[in-house]
Amino acid sequence: MLFQDLGRRKVSVDFSGGRLSSDGGVLLLRAVDGGLGISRKLAGCFRDYRQQEQVEHGVEELVRQRLFGLALGYEDLNDHAELRRDPLLAAAVGKEDLLGEKRRLEKDRGFAGASPSTLNRLELGTKFSDRYRKIHADPERVEAAVLELGVRCLPKGKEVFVLDFDATDDPLHGGQEGRFFHGYYGNYCYLPLFCFCGDVPLWAQLRTSDHDASTGTVEALGKIVAAIRARFPDAKILVRADSGFSREPIMAWCEAQTEVYYLIGMARNARLEKIVEPATIRAQMRHCLTGVASREYLETAYSTLESWSRERRMLCKAEVLAGPKTNPRFVTTNIPAGGIVAKSGEVLLSGEVDALYEKGYCGRGNAENQIKQMVLDLHADRTSTSWMASNQMRLWFSSLAYLLLERVRTIGLGGTRWANVALGTLRLRFLKVAALLEVSVRRVHVALCSAFPLKNVFRLAASRLVACAPPGA
């Protein structure tokens, strides 16, 4: 390739650089994976029926290659047709033959990593069991492993864990299994259910869109709460969700548990708007006097006409915006007026109406940011196989790749100005680093770009992540 001349000299370009990589930061992912054991844990959920003496890519290596590829931004398996040449990715995956010089077949030599077809059989083995797909995943074990790894990343010392549930659309563009039209989103889609605790993903369940947005939440809550209580026996748990989850089974389940609270939005209706009318009038009067947006709060005991089994505490916000325009909001909760209180007597979350809404419920919007990162940065919507089982496996892979990047951010970059960046920004600034490999009998030397502007932060992150890994990881 010829580009513009540089003075009297020609500028020519080709792809003959050799042992180079554009993903020098993959070693940070390797350090995290070694410490948490994500690939090792996930690989234990597969059964490998291949003739082991003929195997060149172990299940753990395949899982690691797929996870690292997603974390690096390569959502398509076809990308691995060239990525399997990358010696640094091979080193991160755990290959000793970094250049693929010892492969059994002549046509495979020069390719250290697994091919797209091999990785595809890893995913499709969840659906099929035949002579061509001999690596089979146990979906229940994978689901439990994703939850266990997420809970393991929750911070110690916290007394209240906030679980944010939300659903989103996953548009379909073909004849995939479970394809239904969703009237609200206006397209054919899946409707996956996510649960985050802070920035940590705990649940990613692929569902068809012909069900209510809250379908499966009670079953998910049972498993999530049990997993958290197994690690934090005295933990108090707060469930947050929007009005799509204001369903009797979810609230009744929380009320039947010990120290499990909920803050769930409620869709407006004529009865609720009548109840909040006095507060709306006060907010309108204040808006007329000040000319700025005004809020008023009140609470009441409320029950639906048919669907609820009992009265519940309803928080009402009356807001008047410029225009003037009214913006009422409603939240139901089982948090008592005294709030959530620790054993020491400290109030962890005030039970006052304004505090519950502004400091409690409004934080739910952060879960939507996490879902956006899951979809935009980790390609959780790449559910393009023909079967739901293999698409669910792809969703789990994206969830664990998200966890890898989140740990790099939390552990490696904590306390720096990069501690809260989006995962896509983290990938661009810290993983996409030019690297040159020198392979000898005694060592593998990785020379990163000398002009890398964040080398000091990279050093700090590397030292922290390696220190967190157990000996021999």
Does residue 340 share a domain with residue 404? no
Residue type, 428: L
| Bridge partner list, 193 | 167, 205
Residue-number span of the structural domain to which 435 is assigned:
17-137+386-468
| Predicted model pTM | 0.93
> Tens place of pLDDT for every residue, the chain, 473 residues?
888 888 999 988 888 888 899 999 999 999 999 999 999 999 999 999 888 988 999 999 999 999 999 999 999 999 999 999 999 999 999 999 998 888 889 999 989 999 999 999 999 887 776 677 889 999 999 999 999 999 999 998 889 999 999 999 999 988 899 999 999 999 999 999 999 999 999 999 999 999 999 999 999 999 999 999 999 999 999 999 999 999 999 999 999 999 999 999 999 999 999 999 999 999 999 888 888 889 999 999 999 998 999 999 999 999 998 877 888 999 999 999 999 988 878 888 898 999 999 999 999 888 899 999 999 999 999 999 999 999 999 999 999 999 999 999 999 999 999 999 999 999 999 999 999 999 888 889 999 999 999 999 999 999 999 998 776 65
Q: Which of 352, 376, 400 is the last residue of a domain?
A: 376
CATH number at residue 240: 3.90.350
**213 and 226 co-located in one domain:** yes
CA 305 – CA 165 distance, rounded (Å): 26
Separation of first and last alpha carbons in the chain? 43
DSSP three-state, residue 442: coil
Same domain, 251 and 372: yes
Same domain, 148 and 98: no
Look at residue 368 and tell me if it is in a domain. yes
Pair 358, 240 in one domain: yes
Please indicate, yes or no, whether residues 429 and 292 belong to a single structural domain of this protein.
no
**Does one domain contain both 294 and 274?**
yes
Bridge partners of 183, per DSSP, are none
Is there a single domain that holds both residue 265 and residue 184?
Answer: yes
Q: Are residues 131 and 149 in the same domain?
A: no
Could you tell me which of 301, 147, 165 has the C-alpha nearest to residue 238? 165
Q: Report the number of distinct structural domains present in the chain.
A: 2
Residues 270 and 250 in one domain: yes
- Asked if residue 43 lies in contact with residue 57, where contact means CB atoms within 8 angstroms, the answer is no
Residue 9 lies in a domain: no
